[in-house]
Amino acid sequence: MKPPRARRGGGRPTIADVARLAGVGAITVSRALREPERVSESLRQQIQRAVDELDYVPDPNARALASARAEVFGVLVPSLTNNVFAEVVRGVYDSLSDTHFRVQLGNTHYSAVEEVRLLQLFLSQRLGARMDPRSQRRLAGYRAAMEAARLFDPDLITTTPVPSSVTLGSDLFRGALAKMPSLDGVFCNNDDLALGVLFECHRASIAVPDRIGICGFNDFDMMQIAYPSVTSVRTHRYEIGRQAVVMAREAIAGMRLKNPIVDIGFELKLRDSTNRL
């Protein structure tokens, strides 16, 4: 018979410690914590006291390993510095705050296969406004509306693989105006660009909205207070994150999703930048 090996684990109390102190089996502690209603009132209190005294906190890794369930929400976003995605993440995060789920950012390490797939996905989404599927669909919507109004002219559209920014908005607008001096309105794929256009108008003393109308997309808070205030399309980003969590949890619970695709809607915020009197 060999001597027992030295214990490896850190000093943290384990479920066994709690069980011993409470004078019950480990599994009862486990149950008391996860399904309190399945444990008698008295034992539950006894256990709670032991938990408090030892300051016991379950180990999520052991739990995940034993139950084969992770309680981790992976969130994959193309860009962390983009406010749009930051708000989606916040929606996800808040929706999970009352659960034991952890939020993990863009983990491509989980699966080698996923890693490649996601990497490609990432790459395919950040190379620029033109390739981003969301941008493409906005463009399609713009086109459809313009065609319906018999105003569509492909030459009026500018796309670029350069990442969107306020600076880019200024630059593109300057170029567009040079090519088409009679230009009298700009619909920007997002608010950054719209702000860039606005600043460029100030710089060049171009009256907004009288000479040039401006409309952005996303409706960041700033658009409302800009001078003049800028018309934009408000998307419900936070709600997207929230809904995503709701649906994911339903799916996890084995429920079949009634509406695998939810239309979160949007709002057109009409402001001064397009309000020609």
Place of tokens 């001096």: 181
Residue span binding DNA (CB under 7 A) among the ranges 25-33, 225-233, 246-254, 261-269: 25-33
Coil/strand/helix, residue 37: helix
Contact between 199 and a copy of itself (CB under 8 A)?
yes
CB 70 within 8 A of CB 64: yes
Residue selected from 16, 27, 53, 65 as contacting a copy of itself according to rule CB under 8 A: 65
63 binds DNA (CB under 7 A): yes
Rounded least distance, CB 100 to DNA, Å:
9
Using CB under 7 A as the binding rule, whether residue 113 contacts DNA is answered as no
Q: How far is CA 54 from CA 59, 150, 165, in A?
A: 14, 74, 53
Contact residue for a copy of itself among 38, 49, 100, 143 (CB under 8 A):
100
Q: What are phi and psi of 104, to 5 degrees?
A: -125, 135
Binding positions for a copy of itself, 139-168, rule CB under 8 A:
165-167
| Rounded CA separation 72/231 (Å) | 39
Considering only the stretches 25-33, 129-137, 197-205, 250-258, report the one whose residues sit in contact with a copy of itself under the rule CB under 8 A: 197-205
Cis upstream peptide for 228 (omega within 30°): yes
Q: Are 132 and 160 in contact (CB under 8 A)?
A: no
Q: Which two tokens stand for residue 134?
A: 């969301």
A 10 A CB-CB count for 96 gives 20
Interface residues with a copy of itself (CB under 8 A) are: 8-10, 55, 57, 59-62, 64-65, 68, 70, 80-81, 83, 86-87, 89-90, 93, 100, 102-107, 109-113, 165-167, 170, 192, 195-196, 199-200, 202-203, 221-222, 224-227
Interface residues with DNA (CB under 7 A) are: 2, 4-10, 12, 14-16, 24-28, 30-31, 33-34, 37-40, 42-43, 56, 58-59, 62-63, 65-69
